[in-house]
Amino acid sequence: MKHTYLIVIILLGLWGLETTDSLVLAASGSGQPQLQLTTQTQKVLLEWFECEECTIGQLQAVVLLNKYQSVPSLAEALSIGPQPSRIVIEDSRLKKRYAELVEFKQSHPDTLLIDKRSFIKIHLAQLTTQYQLRAAIALGQIGGPLSKQALEQASNMDAPELVKEEIARSLIQLSQH
């Protein structure tokens, strides 16, 4: 099967980043382009999803990726939260953290500690909510029909109230432009 590749070079250095990035669109057998995110694109998205003290620069870096690079990943994050591979990594980190807390409790018996399963479940739910919130915010900033479609689809999903509010806010923002 013959594939045609179109490589578009995006100079992220112009936006304050120190590297170049490329977006590869490969035509599949069905003629539909398939997006392959580069490492730098993934890094920009991850920094936005997981920043603790987020800056406008982190959001702007996502917006500047353009809709073809970021909207599909943002729509997926809005729908399901972090990628399953990210959940596995976080689950492992949380298990280690819980073990540290158990060890701490041994020398500090007055410390209250919930059970391990609840600890992990709560923290993974927080991570999912964080990803969904950041995805909704970024989609509202990016705009366009693809962002609007992702937000409209997500507006009917079962999600924390905070996420639903941000989706509604982003949809209002898009309707005003």
Per residue in 50-92, pLDDT (tens digit) is 999 989 999 999 998 866 678 999 999 999 999 999 999 999 9
Q: Is residue 83 part of a domain?
A: yes
Residue 9: strand pairing partners = 22
Q: Is residue 160 part of a domain?
A: yes
State the helix-helix crossing angle for 67-80 and 39-50, rounded to 10 degrees.
Answer: 40
Q: What are residue 9's phi and psi, to 5 degrees?
A: -95, 130
Average of per-residue pLDDT across 101-119: 95
Average of per-residue pLDDT across 12-17: 32
Average of per-residue pLDDT across 143-156: 94
Per-residue confidence (pLDDT) for residue 70, from 0 to 100: 87
For residue 5, give the 3-state DSSP assignment.
strand
Q: Is residue 48 part of a domain?
A: no
Work out the percent of the chain whose per-residue pLDDT is above 90.
Answer: 68
Say which range, 3-7, 33-37, 137-141, has the weakest mean pLDDT.
Answer: 3-7
Q: Which residue has the tokens 């970024």?
A: 138
Residue 10 in tokens: 């995006």
Q: Is residue 137 part of a domain?
A: yes
Range of the domain at 90: 53-175
Whether residue 116 has pLDDT greater than 50: yes
Mean pLDDT of the chain: 81
Amino acid at 27: A
Whether residue 144 has pLDDT greater than 60: yes
Q: Is residue 12 part of a domain?
A: no
- What predicted TM-score, i.e. pTM, was given to this entire model? 0.75
Q: Is residue 19 part of a domain?
A: no
> How many structural domains are present in the chain?
1
Q: Is residue 34 part of a domain?
A: no
> For 51, left (φ over 0), alpha (ψ -120 to 50), or beta?
beta
Q: Which residue has the higher pLDDT, 16 or 95?
A: 95
Whether residue 131 has pLDDT greater than 60: yes
Q: Is residue 113 part of a domain?
A: yes
Amino acid at 67: K
